[in-house]
Structure formats: structure tokens, C-alpha cells
Amino acid sequence: MRKAWIPGMVAIALVAAGGAWFADRAPASAEGPPPAAPGVPVVSGTVKAEDVPILRTGIGTVQAFNTVTIKVRVDGQLDKVAFTEGQEVKAGDLLAQIDPHPYQAVLAQATATKAKDDATLANARRDLARDQGLIGKQFVSQQVLDTQRALVDQGVAQVAMDQAAIDSAKVNLAYTTIMSPLDGLTGIRLVDQGNIVHATDTTGLVVITQTHPISVIFTLPESLLDTINQARSGGQKLTVYAYSSDDTTKLAEGKLALIDNQIDQTTGTVKLKATFDNPNNALWPGEFVTAHLLLTTRKGGLTVPAQSVQRGPNGTFVWVIKPDSTAEMREVKIGQINGGTALVDKGVTVGETIVVDGQYKVKVGAKVAATPQSNQTADAAAPAGSPAK
């Protein structure tokens, strides 16, 4: 039995040896070793040194510098409306005319009454002069003289009352001509021509708002109060930039006018008021805006694109691209982020290359294939109208 399986084993060994001999002499593969894996594609930027405005941002509301509801002060028919809705008017411009005829008649009546009483007073004074001449000759009694003096005094008082009536009639007549008390924009007309208006009416004729200049009321945390007061020490006027409510479009540039004298204890904020010249009506009463208060300008501050800043378990960080094209996670301290630019207080140095876009594929020590960020890309990342540095 042992001799029966020996030839089979010999045959298997010969086949295996032949396979190895042919494998050793097979031609080598023409492809060579597999290529190295490509780096992670990213967009890169550079840490820069720039003059950076230090801003504090709050939500605010545009408020007209002055708002006046034009009301009538006498009763009558509205004969004329001299303004158009939305018109820009100047102080002293004619707005409306109430029928003046009843008040002209009252003035004429008061003037005539005074003329009559002037004549009566003049006659009483002549009688008094005659009585004074006759009293020495005892042609009139002292009582008659005293009575005449009293009549003269009554006449003087009556004439004075008549003059007061004339003055009142003139005032009421003047009230029939309604003039603008300030420069501003008229709103929607509240009463149409031909209606009877009354001094007791509550609606008025129109509302005029002064928009040159105009104000913005905004709030900031009370913790910034000392910083703001230090920045405005010596009477320095701090600059305020007004942006659209979505903080993308610069609308106007003005000056901080005042800080409210009380802190809102329910919110822990303080109100501030800024004044803007607003020559082109870029700011409109009642509009919500984002206000940026410029405290100072940091010279040579380190800046990176805002989108390069990431947030992790230990705080904020950026991906730094080392000279060997590998990525390093670097913790940074951010001073502020504004206008698409982040101010870095600590963590990077000028000239270092960082990852601006594509961070989600980057790992510590991984190779990256960086494409420099173009100017157009950088401009698109930053909101339009960023404050000038």
C-alpha cells in the first residue's frame, strides 16, 4: 500500500516545481508601483498685517430727527391743499389754506369797534379838559370832575380791550394759512380739500418728518460702556456706520451723538444715538439697521478671511498649511469678525498659509493641494460696503 501512493506524491511535486519555474521567468509588469494618493484639494489664503477698525455692533432703528403732525388751530373749510404727498418742504412753505373770510370779518368788526371807542374816548378826554378848566371857577362840582375822569379811564380800558380783540382776530386769521414749521418730507395726506376741519380734530392734515439730518438709536451691552467712554474722552466724536438689517450694505456714516443716561436693567444694554447727515435719504424713519461703532483702529493687526476660522471642542482654530504641504490644526484667539475679515489676537504669524475653503476633508498631517484664493473670491466672501480701515 505504501508503494501505491509514492508515485502520486512525486507527480504533485513536479507540477509545483514547474509552476514556480515559469513564474520566475514571467515578464515584469510595465505599470510599476501604484502612484501616491493626491493631496486634499483646498483653497488657501495668507495671514496679513493690516490696519483693522475695532468695531462694536448693535441692532438699531432709524428715527426722524423731528416729527410734526400738522393740525389746524381754527375751524373752517379747507379751501386749498398746497403740498403733494411725499414732497420735500422747507420751513415756511405753504401747506394748506382754510377759508379766511369769517376771520377777516371778525377782524374788520374788531377794528370798527376800536375806532368807535377811540372816538368816544377822545370826546371824554375833551370833556375832562373842559371840566378841569371850570373847576377853578366853581362852574362844575368835584363829583362831576371825578365822574368824567372815570369815564376817560373806562374809555382807555375799552380801547385796550378792542386792541386785544384785534390782535386775537389777526392771530386766528393767520391760523387759516398753514405753513410748514420745519424742513422735512410730507407723508400721506390725512384730509382732502373741501372738508370742514376743526381745532379739536386729532388726526391732523399730514405728518412731516425731518430726514436731514436723521438719527439711529441702537443698543450695546452695558459691559462696553467704560470702553466707549474711554474712546470718546476729550470730546472725540466716534464714527458710526449704518448697514442694512442683514449687515451686507453700507448705508451711511455718522457720528455718535449721545449715550443714554440709564441702563436698561431688563436687558443689560445701554441705548446710544448717532446722527447722520443723510443727504440722499439712504436712511428712512422706522427702518431697522445694523450699527457699527468705531472705537479705534489697530495698526498692523493680523487678519485672515473669516471663513477660514473653524470652531472645535477647544475653541476656534484654523488649518495652517506647512511648507511640506501638510495640514496643522492651530488654535487661535479671535478679536473680532467683521466684513468678511477676522482679526486674530493670537495663534498665527504674518505670511503663514491657511486653508480658506475645503476644511471638511482636511485631517491633521494630511497632504493638501492648495489653490490660492483669488481676489474675486475674497471680495465675494466679504459683505459689500465694509468700513474703511
List pLDDT tens digits, range 27-48: 544 455 566 567 889 999 999 9
Closest Cα partner for 294 from 381, 384, 213, 386?
386
> Per-residue pLDDT tens for 176-213?
999 999 999 999 999 999 999 999 999 999 999 999 99
The tens digit of pLDDT for each residue in 250-264 reads 999 999 999 999 999
Superfamily of domain covering 101-175: Helix hairpin bin (1.10.287.470)
pLDDT value of position 127: 80
Q: Whole-angstrom Cα distance, residue 319 to residue 363?
A: 9
Q: In angstroms, what CA-CA distances link 184 with 55, 189, 265?
A: 32, 15, 35
Q: Look at residue 36 in the predicted model and tell me its pLDDT.
A: 58
- Report how far residue 337's alpha carbon sits from residue 238's, in angstroms, rounded to the nearest whole number: 20
Confidence of residue 359 (pLDDT cuts 50, 70, 90): confident
Q: Tell how far CA 321 is from the center of its chain.
A: 41
pLDDT at 274: 97
Domain boundaries, the chain: 41-50+300-381, 57-64+209-298, 72-98+182-204, 101-175
**pLDDT: which is higher, 136 or 344:** 344
User: Burial of 72 by CB count in 10 Å (0-12 exposed, 13-18 middle, 19+ buried)?
Assistant: buried
DSSP conformational letter for 267? T
Residues 251-299 pLDDT 10s? 999 999 999 999 999 999 999 999 999 999 999 999 999 999 999 999 9
Query: What is the structure's pLDDT at 143?
Result: 83
Domain 57-64+209-298 -> CATH class: mainly beta
Mean of pLDDT values over 220-228: 93
Count of beta carbons in the 10 Å neighbourhood of residue 80: 14
Measuring CA to CA, which residue among 258, 219, 208 is closest to residue 238? 258
* Cα separation of the two ends of the chain: 102
Residue partners of 99: CB distance under 8 A and separation at least 6: 76, 77, 78, 79, 176
Residue-level pLDDT at 373: 84
Closest CA to 248 of 381, 111, 54: 381
Can you give the pLDDT at residue 314? Answer: 87
| Separation CA 389–CA 381 (nearest Å) | 17
Band of the pLDDT at 386, cuts 50, 70, 90? very low
State residue 37's pLDDT score: 60
pLDDT greater than 60 at residue 13: no
For the chain, give the mean pLDDT. 86
Q: What's the pLDDT at 329?
A: 93
pLDDT over 70 at 26, yes or no: no
> Does the pLDDT at position 131 exceed 90?
no
Above pLDDT 70, what percent of the chain? 86
Question: Could you tell me the pLDDT band of residue 72, with boundaries at 50, 70 and 90?
Answer: very high
Other beta carbons less than 10 A from residue 246's beta carbon: 9
165-184 b/e (C-beta count within 10 Å ≥ 16 → b): bbeebeebbebbebebeebb
pLDDT band at 175 (very low <50, low <70, confident <90, very high): very high
pTM above 0.75, yes or no: no
Fold adopted by 41-50+300-381: 2.40.420
